[in-house]
């Protein structure tokens, strides 16, 4: 990057009486508000907490009055239901097991997810706030294409179209601000999203898609079943 101007580097205040601050764009100078408006915790915050808790209880009571928790027949090891399903928060995992061998779907991928979540604040990429195409767009593009290509090959190999289609759709969305440089609007907003934002959003989309399919769209033999003629 070309410098816009030169700064006299001299610490002798007699020779260089005037100093200028050199502020990079990414650490944009902000006037810190000295006097933030403060309020007393009691009653301002505590009252809000109590109201939130009360609304929570009211909603829970309403749901519990009208919707009964499921209770099937007594456990019978001789009689396996078809399909046998784990609780809903594990159905994304169970859906993965349908595509990948158990060691990948049941151990490696969930293990990687937990490790990836834990190390987020210690990885530099998650501390950057620039849009992903801001610095080194060409290099980023090459890395991006290699990664998406690799993921595409693996997902296609195992026929995981449930992950492949949303992945490709999201990749296309990520590429839009690379080709269309625009400041405002939706495209401008997409352009300001950092890489970590995209990775997390991709993870969330995958988790939601897989869990939804596992919960609502899987019937006997884990075959694709529409919810309205499925087991619900």
Partner 1 sequence: MKNALDRIVRSQVWRSIFRHGLPDSNRSRAETVFYNFFLHLHPTKVRKRSIKFTYTWGLGGMSFGLFIVLVVTGALLMLYYRPSVPQAYWDMKDLQFVVSSGTFLRNMHRWAAHAMVALVFLHMLRVFYTGSYKPPKEFNWVIGVVLFVVTILLSYTGYLLPWDQLSFWGISVGTNMIHAMPFGVGDKIAFLLLGGNIVGENALVRFYVLHCFVIPVVAIVLMAIHFWRVRKDGGV
Please report, as ranges, the residues that interact with partner 1 according to CB under 8 A.
36-46, 48-49, 52-53, 56-57, 60-61, 63-65, 67-77, 79-81, 84-90, 93-94, 97, 102-103, 105-107, 114, 117-118, 120-122, 126-127, 129, 197, 200, 204
Residue 15, phi then psi, degrees to nearest 5: -80, -40
CB-nearer residue toward partner 1: 141 or 199: 199
CB-nearer residue toward partner 1: 7 or 60: 60
Number of neighbouring beta carbons within 10 Å of residue 119: 10
> What is the b/e burial string over 180-219, where b = at least 16 CB atoms within 10 angstroms of the residue's CB?
eeeeeeeeeebbebbbbbbeeebeeebeebbbbbbbbebb
Could you give the count of Cα atoms lying within 13 Å of 27 in the half-sphere of its Cβ? 5
We find the least distance from the C-beta atom of residue 8 to partner 1, in angstroms, to be: 33
We find the least distance from the C-beta atom of residue 184 to partner 1, in angstroms, to be: 21
We find the least distance from the C-beta atom of residue 83 to partner 1, in angstroms, to be: 9
Contacts of 110 (CB under 8 A, 6+ apart): 93
We find the least distance from the C-beta atom of residue 3 to partner 1, in angstroms, to be: 29
CB-nearer residue toward partner 1: 1 or 38: 38
């Amino acid at each position: 990057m070309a410098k816009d101007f030169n700064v006299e580097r001299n610490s002798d205040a007699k020779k260089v009486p005037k100093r200028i601050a050199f502020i990079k764009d990414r650490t944009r100078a902000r006037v810190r508000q000295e006097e933030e408006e403060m309020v007393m915790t009691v009653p301002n915050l505590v009252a809000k907490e109590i109201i939130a808790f009360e609304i929570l209880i009211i909603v829970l009571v309403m749901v519990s009055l009208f919707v009964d928790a499921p209770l099937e027949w007594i456990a019978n090891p001789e009689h396996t239901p078809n399909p046998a399903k784990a609780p809903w928060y594990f159905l994304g995992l169970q859906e993965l097991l349908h595509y990948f061998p158990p060691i990948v779907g049941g151990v490696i991928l969930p293990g990687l997810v937990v490790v990836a979540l834990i190390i987020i604040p210690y990885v530099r990429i998650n501390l950057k706030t620039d849009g992903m195409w801001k610095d080194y767009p060409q290099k980023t593009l090459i890395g991006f294409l290699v990664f998406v290509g690799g993921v595409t090959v693996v997902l296609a190999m195992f026929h995981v179209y449930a992950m492949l289609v949303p992945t490709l759709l999201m990749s296309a969305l990520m590429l839009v601000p690379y080709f269309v440089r625009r400041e405002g609007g939706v495209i401008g907003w997409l352009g300001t999203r950092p890489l970590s934002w995209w990775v997390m959003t991709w993870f969330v989309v995958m988790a939601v898609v897989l869990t939804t399919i596992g919960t609502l769209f899987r019937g006997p033999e884990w075959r694709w079943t529409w919810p309205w003629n499925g087991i619900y």
